[in-house]
Amino acid sequence: MPTNRDKRSIHVPEPRKLGVSAQVDKQTFLTRFHERFYDPAFDGSRAQIDALAEIAWQAYEEGRKAPRTRAAGPEFANPEYQLSEQWLQAREEIRKAQKLHEDPSRPPRVLIISGAARHEQTCPGEVSKSYRLCQLAEQTLVAEHADVDLLDLGHLAAEYGRVIYPCKACVATAMPLCHWPCSCYPNHSLGQVNDWMNEIYPRWVAAHGVMIVSPVYWYQAPAALKLMIDRLVCADGGNPDPTRTDGKNAKKAKAIELEGWDYPRHLKGRAFSVIVHGDTVGAETLRRNLHDWLCDMQLVPAGGDANIDRYIGYYEPYATSHEALDRDEAIQQEVRNAARHLLATVGRLRRGDLRESVPPSARPK
């Protein structure tokens, strides 16, 4: 760490600004607000909706991002700093999950993630192949007496109120500006509420192993999966004390980073497996991307047999892709084997028989 003299000599860059505003005028705001009540069923309640719109406009104009706060308390650098009650609750759920993770008396817990956006209860009218493969893994793990938490990201497209907001890239300004858990949301002044990540963070923390099963969408991860990936950046070096940066004070965060930041790895040591399937191209690239991302967060790969890319119904019609999966007993068995390898790796990690992985690249300290 730098000495006090070193700290005084550190040049802290000013945050760059171009004066580009995203602020909207009142008429635009009200038009967008009323779009939520387009259904004629709301016509009899227009007066009440108009009244709510005025309240929402005031919150927007005043920038009331976190309207309910309380003093941070003695665990924080600035105990009197007013922190969002919702952020504090998300932090508490993560702490509870960490205790579950560390309890040696509990069975191994595996988080299985279906990365597909397709869901049978919305436009496609059919389940994804990824979800079916997740079920195979779940059945295998349950038979081995593991606790399984199945996270279907397809609910983002099918379930009312389910949303993961995009990462705002606070980390690209300074790592300490990226809080653990993320404090960018909810933002009540912008109507950015019900952020699913506040539930997803504890699910990652509680897990001993993570299996991601994903299709390829245009050579890349599905948008639902990528949203979660980006929002997990705070787990890889994120600042657990927002009072140190006075909330989102960019220049203060830059100074803290330049003085020396330790990049805490909040998910370090959990095992992982990646299953990527495609129709024609891109499966290997996406599998490698997911593998490298998880290694970079210092999760532990469960070995080659647990990290695979395969094609189902290669260059066959989409209409018969589920029938192709029915016939493809090889990939079904590979998914079962991957689940077993993951569980075995979890066991070795919990017993202390396996060293944690070293990430392919290390951030500057």
Task: Give the residue from 209, 187, 201, 210 showing the smallest Cα distance to 235.
Answer: 201
Residue 354: per-residue pLDDT: 84
Three-class secondary structure assignment of 240-257: CCHHHHCCCCHHHHHHHH
Cross-strand partners of 111: 149, 210
pLDDT reported for residue 6 = 60
Residue 295 CA to residue 357 CA, distance in Å, equals 7
User: So what's the pLDDT on residue 1?
Assistant: 44
Beta strand pairing status for 69-71 and 82-84?
antiparallel
Please state whether the peptide bond connecting residue 74 to the residue before it is cis, i.e. omega within 30 degrees of 0.
no
Q: How far is CA 17 from the centre of its chain?
A: 28
Q: What is the dihedral of CA 139, 154, 85, 256, to 10 degrees?
A: 90
Residue from 208, 152, 202 nearest 181 by CA = 202
3-state secondary structure of 309: strand
**φ, ψ of residue 212 in degrees (nearest 5):** -110, 125
As a whole number of angstroms, the distance between CA 110 and CA 162 comes to 23
What local confidence, expressed as pLDDT, does residue 8 receive?
Answer: 65
CB 224, CB 175: distance < 8 Å: no
CA separation for the pair 303, 130 (Å, rounded): 21
Q: Is 83 helix (H, G, I), strand (E, B) or coil?
A: strand
pTM: 0.94
Cβ atoms 351, 151 nearer than 8 A: no
Cα–Cα distance for residue pair 265/297, rounded to 1 Å: 7
Is-contact 268 356, C-beta < 8 A? yes
Non-local CB neighbours of 119 within 8 Å, separated by 6+ positions: 127, 128, 152, 154, 155, 157, 158
Say how many C-beta atoms besides its own lie within 10 A of residue 54's C-beta.
13
Smallest CA-to-CA distance from 238 within 262, 209, 258 is with 262
Interatomic CA distance for residues 237 and 364, integer angstroms: 11
d(CA 267, CA 256): 22
Which of 185, 212, 210, 216 has the alpha carbon at shortest distance from 321?
A: 216
Can you tell me whether residue 236 is helix, strand or coil? strand
Return the pLDDT at 9.
81
Angle between helices 46-62 and 26-35 (to 10 degrees): 130
The rounded average pLDDT for each run of 10 residues, N- to C-terminus, in the chain (365 residues) is 59 95 97 97 98 98 97 98 98 98 98 98 96 98 98 97 97 98 98 97 98 97 98 98 98 97 97 98 98 98 95 97 98 98 97 70 43
274: which 2 tokens? 């990646």
